[in-house]
């Protein structure tokens, strides 16, 4: 169809629907109708001069004021001449849908032929991404999914970007030719969680202290005092000890009671707690011969203890035992209280 013939068609499209019964013209058209007619006639004149962008603006304004299917046809024609194929397809389809029964069948047939011609020139691309994903095509935002698909693209190279919260952006370059019908699925990988930010000196000029995790303390030196709970007023002796931690719960130790001349190997197992903890103790007290009035003997002992750590390097310990050394020496109830330095 030549542009002159098309212009004649555009002028005709300003009339009432051809299949509708003619209506008598009002004596005085409304102000809105006059305004719509003015924009429509201006659009026709501009179309004849091949000023398609300006004609499009006039037709759009006319349709805003007084919508009519035939004006949609003129808008589609402007988009077609401007190579806005996606918009042209949209308005041709609207015209064919809304014009059914309102415009002559010949006009619908012409519009369908022009639409088929455009569809043969373009590519149809369907992009599959999760709902909520934002799509950008050739630098223009298409909005968030769901979006009407397929996309109508002219032949050539196109750039698609997909963005979604919590996922890495994905970019894809498409090369399409006329008649292509393509479906593309874009998989958006989950975004890596950022590592905690650590400031470094020299960026802001302020020194930054980097605190490394404290190494576990494994060795302890202790000192305290012990007594027999059966005769607290008559007994009491200082003690010195050394301990080695074999992990978070088990500990080996040796204590020496100075005046009583005894050595007490022991094992402790922490039952519960951290800063204030409870542990069970198993020991083998060894009394050492210190003269004619004493005798070396070995006893077995077990008990419970409490340890309080106000700081990692310092602890206070309270322990109580039941110790049995046979019929000769009987049962005693030694108890110890003291402090420890851990290294």
CATH number at residue 47: 1.25.40.10
Q: Are residues 267 and 325 in the same domain?
A: yes
Domain boundary among 121, 137, 162: 121
Domain's final residue, options 138, 165, 185: 185
Q: 284 in a domain, yes or no?
A: yes
Q: Are residues 268 and 248 in the same domain?
A: yes
150: pLDDT strictly greater than 60:
yes
Same domain (yes/no): 117, 127: no
Domain CATH number, residue 164:
2.60.40.1120
Instruction: Establish if 117 belongs to a structural domain.
Output: yes
Same domain? 92 vs 166: no
Give the residue numbers spanning the domain of 130.
123-185
In a domain, 145, yes or no: yes
Does the residue 208 lie in any domain? no
46 occurs within a structural domain = yes
Share of the chain above pLDDT 90, in %: 16
Residue 52, pLDDT score: 92
Looking at the fold, whether 12 and 113 belong to one and the same domain comes out as yes
Regarding whether 155 and 96 lie in a shared domain, the answer is no
Q: Say whether both 327 and 236 belong to one domain.
A: yes
Structure tokens at 174: 């498409």
The whole-number pLDDT of residue 202 equals 53
Give tens-digit pLDDT for 169-212.
888 898 888 778 888 888 888 887 766 665 555 555 555 555 55
When pLDDT is cut at 50, 70 and 90, the band that residue 323 belongs to is: confident
Instruction: Output the six-digit token pair for 52.
Output: 């398609």
pLDDT tens digit sequence for 65-114: 988 888 999 999 999 889 888 889 989 999 998 888 888 888 899 999 99
Task: Write down the pTM of the prediction.
Answer: 0.42
Provide the 8-state DSSP code for 258: T
What does the buried/exposed string (b/e) look like for 19-37 if buried means 16 or more CB atoms within 10 Å of the residue's CB? eeeeeeeeeeeeeeeeebe
For the cut 50, the answer to whether the pLDDT of residue 7 exceeds it is: no
Domain boundary among 65, 93, 121: 121
Cis peptide before 150 (omega within 30 of 0): yes
Question: In the chain, how many domains are there?
Answer: 3
Where do the H-state alpha helices sit in the chain? Answer: 3-12, 31-48, 52-65, 69-81, 85-98, 105-121, 326-329
How much is the average pLDDT of 242-249? 87
CA distance 188 to 133: 9
* pLDDT confidence of residue 10: 42
- 330 and 271 part of one domain: yes
CB proximity list for 79: less than 8 A, separation 6 or greater: 56, 85, 87, 88, 91
Residue at 197 is within a domain:
no
CATH number (domain holding residue 284): 2.40.160.20
Please check whether residues 142 and 240 belong to one and the same domain: no
Quick one: pLDDT at residue 20?
35
Instruction: For 29-68, write each residue's pLDDT tens digit.
Output: 788 888 888 899 899 899 989 999 999 999 999 999 988 8
Return the minimum-mean-pLDDT range out of 17-26, 124-133, 156-165.
Answer: 17-26
Q: Are residues 232 and 291 in the same domain?
A: yes
- Going by C-alpha positions, the residue among 109, 154, 147, 111 that lies closest to residue 129 is 147
Residue 223 included in any domain: yes
Higher pLDDT, 196 or 9: 196
Does 201 fall in a domain?
Answer: no
Residues 174 and 75 in one domain: no
> Please, are residues 184 and 128 in contact by the beta-carbon 8 Å criterion?
yes
Residues 236 and 287 in one domain: yes
């Amino acid at each position: 169809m030549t542009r002159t013939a098309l212009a004649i068609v555009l002028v005709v499209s300003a009339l009432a629907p051809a299949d509708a019964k003619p209506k008598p013209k009002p004596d005085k058209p409304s102000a809105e109708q006059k305004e719509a007619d003015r924009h429509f006639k201006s659009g026709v004149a501009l179309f004849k001069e091949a000023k398609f962008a300006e004609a499009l603006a006039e037709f759009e304004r006319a349709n805003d004021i007084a919508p009519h299917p035939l004006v949609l046809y003129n808008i589609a024609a402007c988009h077609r001449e401007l190579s806005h194929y996606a918009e042209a397809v949209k308005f041709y389809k609207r015209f064919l849908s809304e014009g059914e029964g309102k415009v002559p069948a010949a006009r619908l047939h012409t519009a369908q032929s022009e639409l088929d011609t455009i569809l043969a020139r373009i590519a149809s691309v369907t992009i599959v991404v999760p709902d909520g994903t934002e799509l950008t095509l050739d630098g223009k935002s298409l909005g968030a999914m769901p979006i009407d698909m397929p996309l109508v693209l002219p032949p050539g190279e196109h750039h698609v970007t997909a963005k979604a919260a919590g996922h890495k952006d994905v970019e894809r370059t498409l090369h399409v030719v006329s008649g292509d019908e393509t479906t593309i699925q874009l998989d958006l990988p989950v975004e890596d969680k950022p590592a905690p930010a650590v400031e470094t000196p020299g960026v802001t000029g302020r020194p930054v202290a980097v605190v490394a995790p404290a190494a576990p303390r494994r060795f302890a030196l202790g000192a305290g005092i012990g007594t027999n709970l059966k005769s607290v007023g008559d007994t009491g002796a200082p003690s010195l000890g050394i301990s080695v931690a074999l992990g978070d719960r088990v500990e080996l130790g040796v204590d020496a009671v100075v005046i009583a001349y005894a050595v007490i190997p022991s094992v402790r197992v922490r039952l519960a707690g951290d800063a204030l903890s409870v542990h069970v103790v198993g020991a083998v007290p060894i009394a050492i011969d210190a003269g004619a009035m004493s005798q070396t003997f070995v006893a077995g002992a077990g008990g419970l203890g409490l340890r309080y750590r106000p700081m990692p390097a310092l602890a206070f310990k309270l322990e109580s035992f039941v110790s049995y050394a046979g019929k000769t020496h009987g049962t005693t109830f030694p108890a110890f209280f003291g402090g420890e330095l851990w290294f």
